[in-house]
Amino acid sequence: MAKTEVILTHNIVGLGGESDQVKVAAGYARNYLFPQRLAIPLTQANKRHIEALKQRRAEREAHEFNTMTELAKGVQKLICVVKVKAGEDGKMFGAVTAGMIVDELKHQFDIALDKRKIHLEHPIKTLGEHEIELHLHAEVKSTLKVRVESTTPITAPAEAPASDARSERPRTEKRGKRPVTEEGEKVEAAAEDKKPAKAKAEKAPKAEKTEKPAKKEKKAKE
């Protein structure tokens, strides 16, 4: 493919700025750049325009820098709302892209911005507030808050009834007394079982003492 050298008279993204000398396809220059007056052929006569083009470029870049600096301060105070479709559980159908954010900036705040200036590593796929980075200029960066909202109401998870919480409390016999637990009942039952045995042990010695005097009296009568 034949190439030709041209001098750009306007800034063309991805190609260059005013006064830049670049090589492009001959057909592209002939059919697009020259008719749109975006470039001129590289000739000795046209080289005299380079200084004037450089001056115009410097003025344009200074204006862009000032404009983007002011915009960077302004967008930091904004919250761009993007409404999307989501299920009752809050799960989004699809994702929020840079193009959608650009459209809402234009619609809500009348801010025209190239979507390439919005730096999204990945499309936004969750509801809520997100902070995204803007590359407004080679030397100017900013942030923008984007709030993603659902167009359908979100169903909140049901809370456990209060009656269930009451039923889980330990039962007590009477006010002012400690609650009776299963372990406590076992301890009390064991204590009751031990009482009769202890009583028998205490009565046994008394019976033996009473028998001895009775035998002595019988021998005395004989």
CA distance 147 to 165: 37
Q: Specify the amino acid at residue 190.
A: A
CATH number of the domain encompassing residue 8: 3.40.5.10
Mean pLDDT by 10 residues, the chain (222 residues): 90 91 94 94 89 92 94 94 88 91 95 92 92 93 94 64 52 50 53 50 47 47 43
Residue 181 placed within a domain = no
Residue 77 placed within a domain = yes
Q: Residue 44 sits in which domain range?
A: 3-71
DSSP conformation letters of 130-196: EEEEEEEETTEEEEEEEEEEESSPPPPPPPPPHHHHHHTSPP-SSTTSPPP-HHHHHHHHHHHHHHH
Task: Count Cβ neighbours within 10 Å for each residue of 135-145 and write b for 16 or more, e otherwise.
Answer: ebbeebebebe
Cα-Cα-Cα-Cα dihedral sign, residues 68, 71, 75, 77: positive
Residue 4's φ and ψ, nearest 5 degrees, are -140, 150
Q: Does residue 80 sit in the same domain as residue 64?
A: no
Is 46 in contact with 7 (CB distance < 8 Å)?
yes
Residue 214 placed within a domain = no
CATH number of the domain encompassing residue 84: 3.10.430.100
pLDDT of residue 191: 54
CA distance 133 to 141: 7
Using alpha carbons, select from 81, 78, 99 the residue that is nearest to residue 143: 78
> How far separated are the first and last CA of the chain, in Å rounded?
154
Residue 188 placed within a domain = no
Last residue of one domain, picked from the residues 71, 104, 125: 71
Token reading at 161: 């009834």
pLDDT of residue 155: 64
pLDDT of residue 170: 53
Is 179 in contact with 170 (CB distance < 8 Å)?
yes
Is 129 in contact with 146 (CB distance < 8 Å)?
yes
Last residue of one domain, picked from the residues 37, 71, 105: 71
Last residue of one domain, picked from the residues 123, 150, 177: 150
In sequence order, what are the beta bridge partners of 22? 6
Using alpha carbons, select from 28, 117, 32 the residue that is nearest to residue 75: 117
Q: How many domains does the chain have?
A: 2
